[in-house]
Chain A
Amino acid sequence: MTDEGELNNLDRLRWQCRRGMLELDVLLEAFLEQHYSDLPPHMQRQFIQLLEFPDPIIHAWCVGGEKPDDEEFAELVASIRATSVA
């Protein structure tokens, strides 16, 4: 798949947001639906990379408030944490 094809394949990403933890299901799906399409391509790419991390790491960053080791993810993680799911 081309890079652009992968970035725009929302159906695939929606399934990748199915996780082993309810917190991540809710938060990542909401972020995908509300904000993903408006992100610049480099952040869309980061989101796809984030989905490859193990659940406890994504949880620690996006719910637990731990700082990602890689500074590059910081902005994306902050946006995910600010997603409205309440």
Chain B
Amino acid sequence: MALEKQRFDTLILGAGGAGLNAALQLANANLKVAVVSKVFPTRSHTVAAQGGVNAALANVLPDNWHWHMFDTVKGSDYLGDQDAIEYMCREAIPTVYELEHNGVPFSRLPNGKIYQRAFGGQSQNFGGDQAARTCAAADRTGHAILHTLYQQNIRAKTHFYDEYFAVELIKDEEGIVLGALVLNIATGEPLLIESKTTLLATGGCGQVFRTTSNAHINTGDGMAMALRAGLPLMDMEFFQFHPTGIAGKGMLITEGVRGEGGYLINKDGERFMEKYAPNAKDLASRDVVARSIVTEVREGRGCGPDADHVMLKVDHLGEDVIAKRLPGIRESSKIFAGVDPVQDPIPVFPTAHYVMGGIPTDRFGRVMPEASDDGDPLPGLYAAGECACASVHGANRLGGNSLLDILVFGRLAGHNIIDYVKQNSAHRPLPDDSVAQAVGRLERWDVKGEGITVSELRKEFRKTMEDHAGVFRVEDMMADGVEKLKAIRDKLKDVRLTDHSATFNTNRTEALELENLIDVGLSIAVSALHRKESRGAHSRPDFPKREDGEWMKHTLYWKESDKLEYKGVRSQPLTVESFPPKERVY
């Protein structure tokens, strides 16, 4: 049967904030744009971003982009590229105003200007007083932005492929990406989308870990497609964990619980944070609390039948305080943990929240295929959002900078694509072998018979990631983990579907996602094993110090031979002086 083909100027994979903001720039410029999304666009994970988006508008307190830049460089633990960070902090301002003009219902001040909240990590005057930099639309900022951008894209005639799964990138002999093979989830039919330019905007990959706050769709699809196309992933060892997720489920229990006087206990009822952080105790920084919880569990003081979590005690605060100051916690705990925190403690464990690493790009969203700053970007291929790494978060991300990242770089990638298409107006010839290879990836799942199930291998994989590449990272257990993960990767060939039907076959979609998860998981584990220092979210008790002399460099991981290379951090900003590394002080 002939493969159906469609042609577009630009193919965008993913319909979260990055993909939709890029699509809108392109459609407004009258380019023919296709957006492929495995779920209905407004159900993308951007919808879960409640906090807001940082921009130095100075509506509430004095502010400027240079202070925002300082905070971001410091927050990145000096692994962020300072040219990209300067660019992002400058572009934050027009990006937010453009969203406002497009109709995002930002919360407002009595004088009509956009209201701005103060968040941790925001300072005035390079580390001075608290700044107020986060623009929000009540507590539904992500939803408001997604909804607005989707509506604007419909107006601008962006072509949406809803409930289509991107299977594989198509590339020619020079490695230039010419589109992708996608799968219509509703019918099971493949479709070849040819494009002059392709933007990967597929979001994060939290589902690689057993306990994550990410939605089920966050399976690193774009990252894995990039890996299989011979491209590297950068700084994948930097994964942000939130210390208190509901054990075994992952939903966030806000830090506000500990702020209001809640505290952690082990199976003996001991308030263990007193040992690890005698002063700050339960209010110590996220990474310290997360590592302390895992240490308690590893040393046999975990709670529950499998001794695999600790407890967060809040009952002493009383029902009124819980209802007034911690709304939602009681409901979430009842539904997802089966406990009423007014009476019983909440079972918690660190939950994987956000990946700082991703597909390496320059500050225009162009994918950089080599471990050199002098190399050229790959013509026509772009990445933006959590799947990308323009290196603005470095080793750790500030609150309010993730929505900013996706919106700024989605927009800038859009602008750059417009210029590229002007200069490269013809489609290049489509190579048959790359198409055949992509179709083969799909057809491999038609093989019937006995085998391992998708859910069995996924369970084993995610537990292995949590145990060996999660919060607690020491040499032997990580090296052991990499070998286990390679063995799991080998087992993929023995996995068989239990359902071979054509329409809405979730079993097949989850098999394709599992391949992606495993490829991305290896990039995290291998990168983390080899970074022998502690920096930002990557914490190694066996190498507790940040080593700027040796390690102020980016990790690049290639799937082929699980190869690693490194490239230096770009410490020179565009127009201002560099911020030199300073020691972290808690």
Question: Residues on A close to B: CB < 8 A?
Answer: 9, 11-12, 14-15, 18-27, 54-56, 63-65, 81, 84-86
Q: Which of A21, A25, A81 has the most CB of B within 10 A?
A: A21
CB B406 to nearest CB in A, in angstroms, measures 13
CB B146 to nearest CB in A, in angstroms, measures 8
A56 contacts which chain B residues (CB < 8 A)?
Answer: 47, 140, 143
User: When the two chains form the complex, which single residue of B47, B186, B504 contacts A21, counting CB atoms closer than 8 Å?
Assistant: B47
Alpha-carbon separation in the docked complex, A41 to B342 (Å):
38
Given A11-B503, A15-B185, A86-B338, is A20 in contact with B44 using a C-beta cutoff of 8 Å? yes
The interface on chain B, measured as residues whose beta carbon lies within 8 A of the other chain's beta carbons, has a size of 39
B207 closest partner in A (C-beta): A22
Across the interface, do A20 and B504 meet the contact criterion of CB distance under 8 Å?
Answer: no
Across the interface, do B504 and A55 meet the contact criterion of CB distance under 8 Å?
Answer: no
Across the interface, do B335 and A85 meet the contact criterion of CB distance under 8 Å?
Answer: yes
- B42-54, CB under 8 A of A: which get 1 and which 0? 1111111000000
Q: What are 21 sample pairs from A and B whose C-beta atoms fall under 8 A apart?
A: A9-B504, A11-B505, A14-B504, A15-B39, A15-B185, A15-B506, A19-B39, A20-B39, A20-B44, A20-B217, A21-B215, A26-B249, A27-B336, A55-B43, A55-B48, A56-B140, A63-B331, A63-B332, A63-B335, A65-B331, A85-B249
Dominant SS at the B interface? loop
Across the interface, do B217 and A23 meet the contact criterion of CB distance under 8 Å?
Answer: no
Alpha-carbon separation in the docked complex, A81 to B375 (Å):
54
Across the interface, do B336 and A26 meet the contact criterion of CB distance under 8 Å?
Answer: yes
CB A49 to nearest CB in B, in angstroms, measures 15
| B565 in contact (CB, < 8 A) | no
A65 closest partner in B (C-beta): B331
- Number of residue pairs A-B, CB distance < 8 angstroms: 92
Question: Residues on B close to A: CB < 8 A?
Answer: 38-39, 42-48, 140, 142-143, 147, 163, 185-186, 212-217, 249-251, 328, 331-332, 335-339, 501, 503-506, 509
Alpha-carbon separation in the docked complex, A33 to B308 (Å):
27
B332 contacts which chain A residues (CB < 8 A)?
Answer: 23, 63
CB A27 to nearest CB in B, in angstroms, measures 7
User: When the two chains form the complex, which single residue of B142, B217, B249, B331 contacts A64, counting CB atoms closer than 8 Å?
Assistant: B331
CB B126 to nearest CB in A, in angstroms, measures 36
A85 closest partner in B (C-beta): B336
Query: What would 8 more interface pairs be, CB under 8 Å, given A15-B506, A18-B43, A20-B42?
Result: A14-B504, A14-B506, A18-B38, A18-B216, A19-B47, A20-B217, A23-B335, A55-B48
B251 contacts which chain A residues (CB < 8 A)?
Answer: 22-23, 26
Alpha-carbon separation in the docked complex, A21 to B43 (Å):
8
A20 contacts which chain B residues (CB < 8 A)?
Answer: 39, 42-48, 142, 215, 217
B45 contacts which chain A residues (CB < 8 A)?
Answer: 20-21
Alpha-carbon separation in the docked complex, A52 to B452 (Å):
35
A19 contacts which chain B residues (CB < 8 A)?
Answer: 39, 43, 47, 215
Across the interface, do A18 and B39 meet the contact criterion of CB distance under 8 Å?
Answer: yes
CB A48 to nearest CB in B, in angstroms, measures 14
User: When the two chains form the complex, which single residue of B336, B504, B509 contacts A23, counting CB atoms closer than 8 Å?
Assistant: B336
Given A11-B504, A11-B505, A20-B45, is A25 in contact with B216 using a C-beta cutoff of 8 Å? yes
User: When the two chains form the complex, which single residue of A11, A18, A22 contacts B250, counting CB atoms closer than 8 Å?
Assistant: A22
Alpha-carbon separation in the docked complex, A55 to B217 (Å):
14
B42 contacts which chain A residues (CB < 8 A)?
Answer: 20, 54-55
Alpha-carbon separation in the docked complex, A23 to B249 (Å):
9
Alpha-carbon separation in the docked complex, A18 to B38 (Å):
9
Given A54-B147, A85-B336, is A22 in contact with B216 using a C-beta cutoff of 8 Å? yes
User: When the two chains form the complex, which single residue of A15, A24, A81, A85 contacts B504, counting CB atoms closer than 8 Å?
Assistant: A15
User: When the two chains form the complex, which single residue of A12, A26, A54, A55 contacts B503, counting CB atoms closer than 8 Å?
Assistant: A12
CB A30 to nearest CB in B, in angstroms, measures 10
Alpha-carbon separation in the docked complex, A82 to B133 (Å):
40
Given A27-B335, A86-B337, is A22 in contact with B501 using a C-beta cutoff of 8 Å? no
Alpha-carbon separation in the docked complex, A19 to B216 (Å):
8
